[in-house]
Amino acid sequence: MNEKLTNLPELSVSEISARLKRTVEDAYALVKVRGEISGFKRHGSGHLYFALKDAEAVLDAVCWKGSAARLAAKPEDGLEVVCLGRLTTYAGRSKYQMVVEQMELSGEGALLKLLEERKKKLAAEGLFAAERKRSLPYLPNVIGVVTSPTGAVIRDILHRLGDRFPRHVLVWPVAVQGEGAAQQVAAAIRGFNAFPAGGKLPRPDVLIVARGGGSIEDLWAFNEEIVVRAAAESTIPLISAVGHETDTTLIDFASDRRAPTPTAAAEMAVPVRLDLLAEMKQKSARMTASMRRVLDERRLLLEGFARGLPKPSHLVEDAQQKLDERAERLANAYPAYLERNRMAVARLGAALRSPRELIELKAHGLEKSALALAHGWKNHVQAWENGLDRAGRLLETLSHRSVLARGYALVHGPDGVLIGHAEQAKKESDLQIEFQDGLVGVKLDGAPPVPQKPRKGPDGRQGSLL
């Protein structure tokens, strides 16, 4: 065996891995690497795993949870970035990797590519649709401004509002670039929308989100999804005034109106007070002139109508003459009326009969009626008496007493029931026979009765009970 190989110290796999790890970390304790993100994955623990690649090589990378929350750029596949961190090894797989602590987008081209892709995505969701946009109030009472409290933007807005039409302004201070700026801007928009009506702080009628000019990196916070979605969800009309006239951010597409500058946003928010006063004065003068013109036209029309009417004095004179004629006719008509009524009363009086004559006629008629009544009553009573006598004789004829008087009798059983058949009488031992003058008790001995010949009348026929 080669003596040189024999003298080498023997190392375990763990020892050689540890030495390699120290060598790599010491040599590359702080590096900045440019590359395109590939295979991006966010683990449930919050750690980020991806690879940085270029045309010839691939470098595995990891970003721990604490650093991931502070990244200026949101990593995604295909994004070209510049990462700051350190190189280390992973002994479990015999590979080296970069631990990323900071990440920034690489170059304006990458930013524009990401911006265009994000714009297409949000537009597909309908966040930029024209029908979602609301009209601005003509004269808001309260204006909410989301911007940096120390920059020139807020001074320009307040100065412009003071010149045009002073309004109550509420400022929500935020960072307009750098780490956490997007989250602050989105929170401010949602915070203004959460103001209750009638609360301690007045609810704004319109919002202005403003920032001065800068590079695409400086304005990137207003391209973040969280800001765009907050602007689209706002129920308060929103004006975006980010950057200069040539600068365009995604919040411009989601807002209700886009202003080229913060000063222009203030001009959109309120009208010019002096212009309003001048316009009101002009309209007041036009209204006064119009009213005067209408009154003149009505006066001329009234004068034309008046010329077609007779003079009032002539109308009064005609009425006076008619009144005199009516008064004279009334004076003559009253005596004639009284005379006609007097003659009518006289004719009616002549046709009337004297009360004495009427009383005598009534008395004579009453006397005749009394005699006729007495005579009729007497005849009526006589007729009643005759009818009553006939009814009495008929009753006596039909009574069983008259039958008994002619020699007939009635047979009664022990209980007083009339017996009309011989078979019925045979069943009884004690009977009672009723004659005209009383009852006689009879006891039957059971011997059959001797048949009797029927009695006949004088003419040889059987007699009748009647």
Cα separation, 90 vs 99, whole angstroms = 11
Helix axes 262-269, 152-164, angle to 10 degrees: 30
Other Cβ atoms closer than 10 A to 168: 13
Cα separation, 359 vs 365, whole angstroms = 10
**115-129+140-271 is classed in which CATH architecture?**
3-Layer(aba) Sandwich (3.40)
pLDDT given for residue 466 in this prediction:
42
The ranges of the chain with pLDDT < 50 are 1, 463-466
Look at the domain 13-105 and name its fold: OB fold (Dihydrolipoamide Acetyltransferase, E2P) (2.40.50)
Residue type present at position 274: L
Instruction: List the domain boundaries for the chain.
Output: 13-105, 115-129+140-271, 401-443
Cα separation, 364 vs 366, whole angstroms = 5
Cα separation, 43 vs 47, whole angstroms = 5
pLDDT given for residue 6 in this prediction:
62
Averaged confidence pLDDT in the chain = 84
Cα separation, 434 vs 407, whole angstroms = 11
